[in-house]
Amino acid sequence: MGLLSILKKLRSNTERELRLLLLGLDNAGKTTTLKQLASEDVTQVTPTAGFNIKSVLSSGFKLNVWDIGGQKKIRPYWRNYFENTDVLIYVVDCSDHQRLQETSFELAELLQDEKLRGVPLLVYANKQDLATALPASEVAQHLGLHLIRDRTWQIQACVATDGTGVKEGMEWVCKNIPVKK
Amino acid sequence: MVFFNLWSVIHWYIRPFVKWILRKTTRLCELQRICYGDKPGAQRTCNVENSLKLSHTRDVIEVITFLDAVVLEKRFIPQNFDDVLYPSINIILRAKQINTKLHPKFVPAFRKCLQQIWSYRQLIDDIEELRCTQYDSKNSDHEEKLLKLWSLLQPNELLEDRITKQWQNIGFQGDDPKTDFRGMGLLGLENLLFFAKEYTQVSSHVLSHSQHPKYGYTFAIVGINLTSMAYYLLKDGSAKTYMFNAKHYLPNIDLFHRFYCYLFFEFDKLWIESKPENIMEFSMIFKKFENAIRSQLSDPASVFRINIAIDII
């Protein structure tokens, strides 16, 4: 085997890098989800001013996860992070009934954006451990997910604070990455 | 790995030998050499702490265990110092054969070190408890503190409602601050409250910066992130430099608050100097700030004071 073929083989073995964008309203649980993905302590989370970024290895992929603050003042900056996104992850606090409409509106805006066209969507229906949380199916209805025709999507019930469902969501992500040349 | 093993061997066998030689030549034990040779404050206290930690003497180990147990029972407070420290110091004096008549300066210096070391450990416990207390909007005490924070920061503006957009003026995220404290719990609120109460001028100066049309930031949210930073610096021991160099205070909750206020003031200064494009630069500037503070804290001679002069401008 020549040096070149060894190098080629090495190269094909390196993980593919993916860019995941984590969005949602403030207090939805984005940072907690991010920390859960990176197997970090989730009990000392603070509100995100700006953004956090972490790289996680999962099923042979290097996932670069961008967690952008969800506060209303920050939302106009979300657009700056759309470019080259492989998968959009949208986190919803299912116990926050009052802001379901607000979160649907924000999601609808995202889905209309040219830069995010065709990007697969994973919705985390978070905080399922709370008694007042709506089930994932109902949240899907509120968000109008069944009307989406231009991309693959999935809704995953989860509890970011203890990790329930987070891994399942990521497995879906790794299976549904758009093929790139 | 080999180096590490070698190092631990050296530490285990050579250290006592070196200590023995020094003891014979100087006629002083290590604790005395530290208390006489090192400057009071972080340098001396950290070296005493380290020396105690590495000691193989049974009596010393027992004293450490005893003092740690006192902390666990939350009894390491100034009114108990005499009861707790008197016997502890006596045991060590006997174990190290220190004659207090010949060395009258040793006990006060050593005592101060012990007070600082174990007050710091007590403080970690107290802070952890505050942090773990979740903000509860059904708790009237918590609610009162929150409203107090408003009236201190915005003395000329009345809060129209408990749930209102006005909270965003002092940098909370939405209409109700209760969900913003998150993992920092009541500690985040107590920190902000102390800043507004004890440093009224400084905090209103910083708040006005945060409301700057171009370089503004979310005051309360940044404050809660600074609480988190102060908390980690306390827990990993970096804050010892600050706490042990505070001449007039022992490590306690108020001193932690003061440390927080110092961080807030300094962060604000760096933020304004950096002329950030927008709030999205926060993570970067915050990291830069943390690194700068860490390097300052790593020098035991650092003294930290809020430079109030700037406040007048």
Residue B309 has pLDDT above 60, yes or no: no
Q: In this complex, which of B224, B231, B283 lies closest to A47 when CB atoms are compared?
A: B224
Interface of B with A in 114-143 (CB under 8 A): 131
β-partners of residue A52 are A67
Name the maximum alpha-carbon separation found in chain B: 74
Three-class secondary structure of residue B268 per DSSP = helix
Q: Is B37 on the interface with A (CB under 8 A)?
A: no
Q: How much is the pTM?
A: 0.91
- Using a CB-CB cut-off of 8 Å, the residues of chain A touching B225 are 46-47, 49
Stretch B141-162: mean pLDDT: 96
* B183–A72 CB contact, under 8 Å: no
Residue A30 assigned as binding residue: yes
Interatomic CA distance for residues B18 and B54, integer angstroms: 14
Residue B311: which pLDDT band, with cuts at 50, 70 and 90? very low
How many Å lie between the alpha carbon of B285 and the closest alpha carbon of chain A?
10
In chain A, the residue whose alpha carbon lies closest to the alpha carbon of B174 is: A71
Work out the end-to-end distance of chain B between its first and last CA atoms, rounded to an integer number of angstroms.
Answer: 56
Nearest to B182 among A45, A50, A80 (CB): A45
> Which pLDDT tens digit goes with each residue over B49-90?
999 999 989 999 999 999 999 999 999 999 999 999 999 999
| Secondary structure of B89-153 in HEC code, one letter for each residue | HHHHHHHCCCCCCCCCCHHHHHHHHHHHHHHHHHHHHHHHHHHHCCCCCCCHHHHHHHHHHHHHH
- Contact of B191 with chain A, judged by CB distance below 8 Å, is answered with no
- With 60 as the cut, is the pLDDT of residue B24 above it? yes
For residue A124, the SS3 value is: strand
Cα dihedral B234, B236, B237, B242 sign: negative
Q: Where are the beta strands (DSSP E) in chain A?
A: 16-23, 51-58, 61-68, 87-93, 121-126, 153-157
**Cβ–Cβ below 8 Å for B224 and A27:** no
CA distance B45 to B193: 31
Q: How far is CA A137 from the centre of its chain?
A: 18
Which residue in A45, A50, A72 is closest to B280 by CB distance? A50
Per-residue pLDDT of A83-110, as tens digits, reads: 999 999 999 999 999 999 999 999 999 9
Give me the catalytic one of A36, A44, A71, A98: A71
pLDDT at A17 over 70: yes
3-state secondary structure (DSSP) of residue A174: helix
C-alpha distances in angstroms, B173 versus A25, B241, B248?
10, 34, 37
In total, chain B counts a number of residues equal to 313
Task: State which residue of chain A sits closest to B229, comparing Cα positions.
Answer: A46
The pLDDT of residue A11: 55
Q: Is A127 annotated as a binding residue?
A: yes
CB–CB contact B279 A73 (8 Å): yes
Cβ–Cβ below 8 Å for A44 and B222:
no
* Residue pairs between chains A and B whose CB atoms are closer than 8 Å: 68
Contact B275, B215 (CB under 8 A): yes
Residue of A6, A117, A123, A21 whose CA lies nearest to A66: A21
Q: Can you state the angle between helices B219-235 and B200-210, rounded to 10 degrees? A: 120
Q: Which residues pair with A89 in a beta bridge?
A: A22, A122
Provide the ipTM.
0.88
> What is the residue-averaged pLDDT of chain A?
91
Q: Is the pLDDT of residue A59 over 50?
A: yes
